[in-house]
Homo-oligomer: A and B are copies of this chain.
Amino acid sequence: MKNYAAGIDIGGTNTKIGIVSDDGRVLERTILQTREYSTPSIYKKRVRSELVSMITSMDIEICGIGIGAPNANIYSGCIEFAPNLPWKGMVDLKEGLDDLAPVKVTNDANAAALGEKLFGAASGFSDFIVVTLGTGVGGGIFCDSKLLYGKFGFAGEIGHITAVPGGRQCNCGRKGCVEKYCSAGGIVTTALELFSEHRNKSKLDKYDKNTLTTRIIYEAALEGDKTALETFDTTASYLASFFNDLLNIFSSEAIIISGGVAQSGEILLKPLEKYFRQELIEFYREKDIKLLLSALPQQDSAIIGAASLVF
């Protein structure tokens, strides 16, 4: 008999809710607009009613509810001051849901790592890092076969380590964080900087910081636009240094890229592979350290990751 779990991914824009079977397939899904709900309590009531209607119409029982959300803490079960969500302060994610099934909560990057481990690119690895490159940069870290949480539950916040000392101002208060260079927004900033440096003819010249997206840069790069290609090349060199730092810290066998930026595929991966191998210290040059893209279906990966918390 199959086991089922609910997976809920709470993002700044969308909330994805799904029912996942224990072979990692999403059987039902729905999307809410997170910002439409002015308070956590109205929001949670809606999430609950969506969930109940799915379970009822499928006529199943679920073994648990896994929730991935930015700055969500496995120990408290709460979102703790997430800058990209509409609600301020602590949001208790268990209350109002845990009468349906046991609820487990963690941040989205940890959920992504669990998803890759159970059903994706990390199934054979004991030591790997899932790096999520999207609106922000996050990390889910398996070391010695265990997902790291740390004392306060926020291990893996690798978006807030320094890429460029004294560099771009980050929302966290520090300067030069990886997130300001390797997130979707960071890549856009790099493109705009390169464009203003070069003043060359580029497909990107009609865009500004409000209209340019990584998707547009990606498409321009595919068509051979020099500034777009250089943007990915520069991003790859930041990531290569960042990934080598992580490798030296964790002695991992693989780094897996997840999140929206991973959609850039080979355009990013090719220069990244080159720079990453160049920077490997001798000890790791003869090991087979893998750089991989997420093997979960992009649209469902967050739901699968969240559900993996309870499997």
Contacts and interface: CB of A to CB of B under 8 A. Distances in A.
Contacts of A173: 279-282
A163 to B, nearest CB: 8
Nearest to A154: B251
A143 interface: yes
Contacts of A287: 152
A150 interface: yes
A151 B80 contact: no
B281 A160 contact: yes
A251 B152 contact: yes
Contact of A144 (B81, B125, B148, B249): B148
A10 to B, nearest CB: 18
A158 B282 contact: no
Contact of A161 (B174, B245, B251): B245
A157 B80 contact: no
A13 interface: no
A213 to B, nearest CB: 27
12 contacts: A81-B282, A139-B249, A143-B155, A151-B251, A151-B253, A152-B251, A153-B251, A154-B248, A155-B249, A160-B248, A163-B165, A173-B282
Given A151-B252, A155-B249, A165-B165, 10 more contacts: A81-B283, A144-B148, A150-B251, A151-B253, A153-B251, A154-B251, A156-B249, A161-B249, A162-B245, A172-B281
